[in-house]
Chain A
Amino acid sequence: MSDDLYRETIVTEARHPQNYGPLEGADINQSYVNPSCGDSINVYVKLDSAKKKIIDLGWEGNGCVVSMASMSFLSAKVKGMSLEEVNQLTSDDLQRILGVEEITPSREKCMMMGLMAIQKAVSVDSSVK
């Protein structure tokens, strides 16, 4: 399983993440922390005028290869997605994106951090509206 997680593509993605850094003019800024290891992710989300769709996303974070690579791939995937679609993303989707067949519960938390941050961000925004 771990060889699967530490393929060059994943390690490289974590080292050279996409959409990294704060996003100017973001509508939402949301942080998420994994209390078991102290890893953290901060996402910046820009929505369309109807507030139904993510049009841009930036992020910053500290964490392991799994959380950073997962967040990086995800940041590219969610651009253009509706909030409804984003809320429907699951652990299985992330495993498919990362190309990982199996993941232990403790590493699943690492993998899910980015998605949790984004889903929390858009749910906070929906509740504000």
Chain B
Amino acid sequence: MLGSQMIKSQFPILSRRVNDKPLVYLDNAATSQKPQVVIDAISNYYTQHNSNVHRGVHRLSDESTRVFEESRNSIASFFGAESEELIVTRNATEAINGVAYGWAAQNLQAGDVIVTSLMEHHANFVVWQEVAKRTGAKLEFVGVDDQGRLKLDELRQKLETSPVKLVALVHVSNTTGTVNPIKKIKKIIANNQKETPIRLLLDGAQSAPHMPINFKQLDVDFYVFSGHKMLAPMGVGGLLVKKELLESGEMKPWLFGGGMIFSVLPEATEYNPDLVERFTAGTPDVASIVGLAAACEYLKTLEMRKVEQHDRELVLYAIEKLSRIPEVKIIGPVTPAQAGQSLDRLGSVAFIHQTAHAHDVSQILDSEGVAVRSGHHCTMPLHTHFGWQATTRASFSVYSSKTDVDALVKGLEKISQVFK
């Protein structure tokens, strides 16, 4: 069962003590811990197979190439994408920058409009500010309502009235936990498609770890994720791009050099027609890709459907427990968008403590062994919009349990004593 001692025991770091208390790790939206199978996969790669991929004839190079390709296939399959649709990056931020260089710089002109929202992580915000600066495109923002949901009417209005070429939105907010209604958003975009298609990018950094993702069914143009937030090592993530954009050349390579070429002559270079190779310049981080594949396999065994259900239960449990503490004000959705629906929130519960500053909250929780994050969580525009100076966030993973939430609540009681 998810959150059980059995699952916890598969993550060696969780048996550590902090300040002489058992570690209660509730900072998973920042990064998740790694199971032994992922650590072993990386270690096994370096102890058994390490060699550079491709073009090597010797045994190790052949093994390394095989492991690399199998891992890529396994990651793509986890996301319901074709292997060619996966461009491996360092993380979601680099993936979004990839769209900026490989797509936006090639396709946007002065006067075009990019739409993003006020609930974005800086990764999906600052990049577009910079693209707008460089291309002369205009950047517009969709606002959020009091519970931290996107104002879809604003999105509709912008699409109806402006020459929008790209909509870049977060799938699940890292601050409010809001799950954006992608089907509705896609419908609004479809109703406003013009001669030049409007492309949709989803920042999946916080959705990939918490819910089943099927790129084909999701039917968006770009989807980005970070491996380290979904039990894989740091330094590896991905950009999924619809195959037709790659085949038509609308999305172009943005990193050049070895590996991505077909032939190189002093006069000109022809890029590799193989889509995977064309977007893999330089030596890839094979060990991390192997680690990410192991994480995907591990999550597949747990079943993402169950991971989502488990996460949902924890979010509801945390909301119920935290809302009983008078000093705590939960931010983000706490009641379903429509009666009868499940709450459109996943991954985390962030809050404002009315008497203690977020840093003090997380420091005192740390003294109880509870790890949470405080600050603006890289969503300064959202914090500014609501006038929050800083918030405290507890976020979950497959090993998180109701007992962990209880420890958080107990820690918050200590804060009430210090700040009585």
Contact = CB atoms under 8 A, between A and B. Distances in A.
Interface of A: 1-3, 5-6, 11, 36-39, 62-66, 106-107, 110
29 contacts: A1-B367, A2-B19, A2-B367, A3-B367, A5-B363, A6-B360, A6-B364, A11-B419, A37-B358, A37-B359, A37-B376, A37-B389, A38-B376, A38-B389, A38-B390, A39-B357, A39-B389, A63-B357, A63-B359, A64-B358, A64-B360, A65-B356, A65-B357, A65-B360, A66-B359, A66-B360, A106-B359, A107-B359, A107-B363
A67 B375 CA distance: 14
Given A62-B389, A107-B359, A107-B363, 16 more contacts: A2-B363, A2-B364, A6-B364, A36-B375, A37-B375, A37-B376, A37-B389, A37-B390, A38-B375, A38-B376, A38-B380, A39-B390, A64-B359, A65-B356, A65-B360, A66-B359
A11 B419 CA distance: 8
B366 interface: yes
Given A11-B418, A38-B383, A110 B359 contact: yes
Interface in B362-420: 363-364, 366-367, 374-376, 380, 383, 389-390, 418-419
Contacts of B419: 11
A37 B383 CA distance: 11
Contacts of A11: 418-419
A37 B418 contact: no
Contacts of A1: 367
A72 to B, nearest CB: 14
B75 to A, nearest CB: 33
B359 to A, nearest CB: 4
Nearest to A7: B418
A6 B362 CA distance: 12
Nearest to B420: A11
Nearest to A107: B363
Contacts of B366: 2
B313 to A, nearest CB: 31
Contacts of B375: 36-38
B357 A6 contact: no
Contacts of A65: 356-357, 360
A119 B358 CA distance: 26
A5 B360 CA distance: 9
Contacts of B360: 6, 64-66
B68 to A, nearest CB: 37
Nearest to A62: B389
Contacts of B390: 37-39
Q: Which 5 A-B pairs have the closest CB atoms?
A: A64-B357, A64-B359, A2-B367, A64-B360, A2-B363
A47 B359 CA distance: 34
A6 B380 CA distance: 28
A64 B374 CA distance: 11
A110 B364 CA distance: 15
Contacts of A36: 375
A25 B359 CA distance: 34
Contacts of A66: 359-360
**Which of B357, B380, B390, B418 counts the most chain A CB atoms within 10 A?**
B357
Nearest to B419: A11
Contacts of A37: 358-359, 374-376, 389-390
Nearest to A15: B419
A84 B304 CA distance: 62
Nearest to B363: A2
A3 B417 CA distance: 12
Contacts of B374: 37
A110 B359 CA distance: 9
A106 B418 CA distance: 21
Nearest to A106: B359
Contact of B418 (A6, A38, A39, A110): A6
A56 B356 CA distance: 29
Contacts of A6: 360, 363-364, 418
Nearest to B390: A37
Contacts of A63: 357, 359
A38 B390 CA distance: 7
Contacts of A2: 19, 363-364, 366-367
Contacts of A39: 357, 359, 389-390
Interface string B223-239: 00000000000000000
A106 B362 CA distance: 12
**Which of A1, A3, A6, A36 counts the most chain B CB atoms within 10 A?**
A6
B45 to A, nearest CB: 33
B81 to A, nearest CB: 36
Interface in B74-130: none
